[in-house]
Amino acid sequence: MKRCAVCTLLLLLLAAGVACAQATLLLTTEESPPYNLRQGQEIGGSSTEKVRELMRRARQPHRIELLPWKRAYELALEQPDTCVYSTTRTSEREGLFKWVGPIAFNEWVLFGRSEGGIRLSTLEDARPYVIGAYLGDVREEYLRSRGFRVESVPSDAQNPRKLAMGRIDLWVSGRYDGPLLIAEAGLTGSVKALLTFQRTELYLACNRQLPDGLIGELGRHAAALWREGLAAAIDARYERAATPR
């Protein structure tokens, strides 16, 4: 009887372990082409394709939700079995998550009016000016923490128009999303890139309660995507599509 009871207990523990390992992950992200975007009824983008491939290789059940960035980020901080992407990895954020990647790269750019007369050689040259930023974005955090004059809005799409109207002097955005937002606002030719001042790595940032074994497995698959050339091929395809014509 004791032997049967022990066997039953072991089977229950094994079943519980399998159930835990197969818990469905919630992957949160924002609308930020070319990394993450809505394509009809689906969520796509270069980072999304890579993340889906990581989950496929790990046989990890998951679902993806497209949310405002602040909400997407906070869910991954607070909720078990949740990760957020494409997240810039910084020293300030290092201990907040378990990290998988990098899954993508970005460059931070200051944009200005084409006829505005502002010339920037270094980031310090931007210190006298009011800089438009996206609320909750890492670039906003970076500039604020260094004492720059930052004016934030809940949607980055508002900033090109604010810049063109002279309500801000500069605008901080990314290498890809900035030109796309400028084109969508019909301001190509009126707003231009003035300074690229940072290159960053983007990751899948996971709640700290996720098992180290799963994080390690996903990390190995992420490294394999770059080693095989698949990640670079995905990036190249989306970069061509993201370049305004």
* CATH code (residue 83): 3.40.190.10
Q: Kindly report, residue by residue over 127-171, the tens digit of the pLDDT.
A: 999 999 999 899 999 999 999 999 999 999 999 999 999 999 999
For residue 11, pLDDT over 80 is answered with no
Banded pLDDT at 239 (limits 50, 70, 90): confident
71 in a domain, yes or no? yes
Cα separation, 140 vs 122, in Å, equals 17
**78 occurs within a structural domain:** yes
Q: 140: closest CA among 156, 124, 125, 129? A: 156
Q: Is 228 found in the same domain as 176?
A: no
Same structural domain for residues 211 and 176? no
Mean pLDDT of the chain: 90
Residues 194 and 219 placed together within one structural domain of the fold: no
Please check whether residue 119 lies inside any domain of the structure.
yes
Q: pLDDT tens digits, residue range 66-99?
A: 999 999 999 999 999 999 999 999 998 999 999 9
Domain assignment of residue 19, yes or no: no
DSSP calls for 99-121:
EEEEEEEEEEEEEEETTS----S
Query: Do 121 and 195 fall within a single domain?
Result: yes
Domain around 131: 107-199
The answer on pLDDT for 21 being more than 70 is no
> Could you tell me if 102 and 157 lie in one domain?
no
* Mean pLDDT along residues 107-136: 96
In 3D, which of 103, 78, 91, 105 has the Cα closest to residue 206? 78
- 102 and 204 both lie in a single domain: yes
Instruction: For the beta carbon of residue 47, count every other beta carbon within 10 angstroms.
Output: 28
State the number of CA atoms in the 13 A half-sphere of 88 facing the CB: 19
Say whether both 82 and 185 belong to one domain: no
101, 111: one domain: no
User: Does residue 241 surpass a pLDDT of 90?
Assistant: no
- Provide the number of structural domains found in the chain: 2
Q: Which of 92, 65, 62 is nearest to 218 (CA)?
A: 62
17 inside domain: no
For residues 81 and 62, membership in a common domain is answered with: yes
Q: Is the pLDDT of residue 16 over 80?
A: no
pLDDT at 28 over 80: yes
User: How large is the average pLDDT for residues 190-213?
Assistant: 97
In a domain, 168, yes or no: yes
In a domain, 217, yes or no: yes
Instruction: Based on the fold, state whether residues 131 and 178 are members of the same structural domain.
Output: yes
Together in a domain, 29 and 100: yes
| 9 part of a folded domain | no
If asked whether residues 113 and 189 sit together in one domain, one would say: yes
